[in-house]
Amino acid sequence: MFEQFGASLCDSRQYLLEEVKDGELFIARHSRATEKEKWCKVMFQVRVHKATDLFECECGFFEHSGFLCGHALKVGVTREGVTGG
Ligand SMILES: [Zn+2]
C-alpha cells in the first residue's frame, strides 16, 4: 500500500516551486499536500550555491544517496527554463 520513499522523492513533477530568494533559495511544496502530510513532510527548502552550481536540499536525500532528490531537480529544471534559451 505504501509508496516507496525514493519513488516519491524522484517525482519532481508533483512539486510546486516557490522562489524565496532570487535564484538562491526555493521551497518545493508537494501539490497534494493534504493527502501526504499525514505521513510525510511536504515542504523542503532547497538552497542553490551559485559559485559551484550545486543544490542543497533539507531532505538530505543527496547526502544519503548521492542522487539529486526531486526537489533539487525541480529547482534545476525551473532555473534552466528561466535562464536558458
Ligand atoms: Zn529534497
Cell numbers that stand for 1 in this block:
500500500
Instruction: Give pLDDT tens digits for 75-84.
Output: 988 887 655 4
Residue extents of the structural domains in the chain: 5-83
Instruction: Give pLDDT tens digits for 44-53.
Output: 999 999 899 8
pLDDT for 18 beyond 90: yes
Cell numbers that stand for 68 in this block:
539529486
- Give residue 15 CA to ligand 1 midpoint distance, Å: 11
Alpha helices in the chain (DSSP H): 5-10, 33-36, 61-65, 70-83
- Give residue 81 CA to ligand 1 midpoint distance, Å: 20
Beta bridge partners of 54: 49
